[in-house]
Amino acid sequence: MSVTQQYALDLYRSTQHGTTPPPAPGTHDWRTVRELRDAHLDSRRLRRRGGDGPKGAGLLGRLARRVTRTPRARRPEAASPSGSGQAQCCA
């Protein structure tokens, strides 16, 4: 069955059922091609932002890890400016 024959059959069925007719073949082809191209370019941009790290090191991988990981322990406080080498404690 060709595309034209399938369209004619779908058009007949839509009129019998009282539904809106389907779009003619080729109506949205260029829009679909553009959407596929844009999606491909966006995925390449997201992968490129992650650097040369292992798989999953891209932006999406980092976001997924940040959302799913448990909170890490806080880093130790920096040395005090007085030069004593110990962190000052709040009283």
pLDDT for 49-77, tens place per residue?
655 455 555 666 666 666 666 666 666 66
Report how far residue 76's alpha carbon sits from residue 56's, in angstroms, rounded to the nearest whole number.
Answer: 29
Report how far residue 46's alpha carbon sits from residue 49's, in angstroms, rounded to the nearest whole number.
Answer: 5
Number of domains in the chain: 1
Q: Which residue has the higher pLDDT, 60 or 23?
A: 23
Task: Please give the residue range of the domain that contains residue 4.
Answer: 1-48
pTM: 0.36
Give the torsion sign (CA, 37, 39, 44, 49).
Answer: positive
* 78 belongs to a structural domain: no
Report how far residue 83's alpha carbon sits from residue 81's, in angstroms, rounded to the nearest whole number.
Answer: 5
* 80 belongs to a structural domain: no
Q: Does the pLDDT value for residue 11 go beyond 80?
A: yes
* 91 belongs to a structural domain: no
C-alpha torsion angle, residues 9, 10, 15, 17 (rounded to 10): 110
